[in-house]
Amino acid sequence: MMLQDRVAIVTGAGRGIGRAIALRLAREGAKVVVNYSKSAEAAEQVVGEVEGLGGHAIAVQADVSLAADVERLIAVTKEKFGSVDILVCNAGITRDKLLMRMSEEDWDAVVNTNLKGAFLCAKSVVPGMLKQRSGVIVNIGSVIGKAGGAGQSNYSASKAGLVGLTKSLAKELGSRNIRVNAIAPGFIETEMTGVLSEEHRAAILKQIPLGRIGSSENVAGLVAFLCSEDSAYIHGEVISVDGGLFM
């Protein structure tokens, strides 16, 4: 197994892409901290699935937009597993509206969770990674952070910010053997895409060269690769998983 006995925190891991990432890392031998904000039952189900695979996992509630919560998340992880080797910043929300209808609260909620949350989590785990002179950070962005999206100025800005954060951290931390990369998923089968109308879905499929919407496992597989020694010379990259939507 590629990640035997590594300790991984996955934020927003109760469902969707985060759940798939947590399960894939566990299959690769990692001990997984399943972070959630509100979905306690879903997070505990993921823990149960990991344990069913013969792995080790705990669920930890924390709102990643709050520094005190993030500090508690890291403290609980270290108390249980001793260290943090892998951080996957996946927690994210949307509040889509056209700019003229978007409130300041809509803007702040999305940016604070999607971008500030990654900043707070990285800031909390990096001291330990510096001490052990190793670590991996993977930020889950979006193709919308590259291309923009009408009615998604808050979401797009937060995901574009993750690109800058990823590359800046890569330049800061590379010399200490801490690798930082990002993934930009396209349209993935999750609860978010599940609400799309058939008409909207058909229009999307016409734009994707592979002709299909991706799965959470497609993203999780790349995360596992980026966390392993097989990607030891990949650093500061933003890799799209979008079926060729934005090439």
Write phi, then psi, for 239 (nearest 5 degrees): -105, 125
Give the C-alpha distances (Å, rounded to integers) separating 67 from 78, 117, 212. Answer: 17, 8, 39
Give the C-alpha distances (Å, rounded to integers) separating 202 from 23, 148, 188, 240. Answer: 30, 20, 14, 21
Helix or strand holding residue 21 (H, E): helix 16-27
Q: Could you tell me the two tokens for 158? A: 């937060």
**Catalytic entry in 155, 165, 169, 173:** 155
Order the strands of the 238-241 sheet from edge to edge.
Answer: 57-61, 31-36, 7-10, 86-89, 135-140, 178-185, 238-241
DSSP string spanning 60-87?
Answer: EE--TTSHHHHHHHHHHHHHHHS---EE
The answer to whether 184 touches 160, Cβ cutoff 8 Å, is no
Q: Could you tell me the two tokens for 64? A: 């990643």
Look up 155 and say whether it is catalytic.
yes
Q: Any idea which residue has 């799309």 for tokens?
A: 196
**Cα–Cα distance measured from residue 106 to residue 159, given in angstroms and rounded to the nearest whole number:** 15
What region, left, alpha or beta, does residue 18 occupy, with left being phi > 0 and alpha being psi -120 to 50 degrees?
alpha
Instruction: List residues with catalytic annotation.
Output: 155
